[in-house]
Amino acid sequence: MQTFLDRLDSEARDLLMAVARPIAHAKGERLIRYGDPSRGAYLLKDGSCEATVLMPGGEKLTVARLDAGGVFGEMALVERGTCTATVTATTRLNGWFIERDDFRSLVAQRAPAALRLQHALTLALSDKLRQLNARVLEVVKRKAKGKVVELPAPRAPKGKVIDLMEALQQSLARKRPAASARRTRVAVRRRA
């Protein structure tokens, strides 16, 4: 899978770097914390980090590991909101921070390079959503072990992007999966 930086041609990359601010973080340093207001995206030049969330019951779940060329916090470039995970440096890392308003000014130009930049961001978000969906199903199956688990259809205010991990956490906190003695495999159903 291509990294965010790999998807950018030189013109789109130069456009992005014109508004990017250099950052450096030590191993173990927290870059963003779940629930804090989001301000922009982070792009990794070198080093690595991991994104984690707390599950009901206090279990820490790693939802993403990022290396050079990776991006996180990109939802902040699309909408105002809060951080949906805590991101911590797993090695010393260097990169760039792109503030929401600066990014939005770039794409508002509607220049071809700005549109390619926005397209690369959309692809990065799509990849992450696909990976997160697979990870959530893996966790649900592991936790259910022979139980039937019903996942309610997520509800969000009109125009608001649904955070799948948050919907799952709320669902698990509200309702424990019901055990079924007759079933030996996991059945994941979606309630309308």
- Mean pLDDT in consecutive groups of 10 residues from the start of the chain, 192 residues: 85 93 97 95 95 87 89 90 94 96 89 90 86 79 67 53 53 47 40 48
Query: What was the pLDDT predicted at 94?
Result: 97
Query: What was the pLDDT predicted at 173?
Result: 54
Query: What was the pLDDT predicted at 93?
Result: 96
The reported pTM is 0.70
Query: What was the pLDDT predicted at 102?
Result: 94
Query: What was the pLDDT predicted at 36?
Result: 95
Whether 63 and 84 share a structural domain: yes
Contact partners, residue 167, CB within 8 Å, separation at least 6: 152, 154
In a domain, 122, yes or no: yes
pLDDT in tens, 145-161: 766 555 555 555 555 44
In a domain, 4, yes or no: no
- The residue range of the domain holding 19 is 10-132
Query: What was the pLDDT predicted at 97?
Result: 97
Query: What was the pLDDT predicted at 141?
Result: 79
Query: What was the pLDDT predicted at 184?
Result: 34
Separation between Cα atoms, residue 8 and residue 33, nearest integer Å: 28
In a domain, 168, yes or no: yes
Would you say 36 and 80 are in contact if contact means Cβ atoms under 8 Å apart? no
Whether 147 and 125 share a structural domain: no
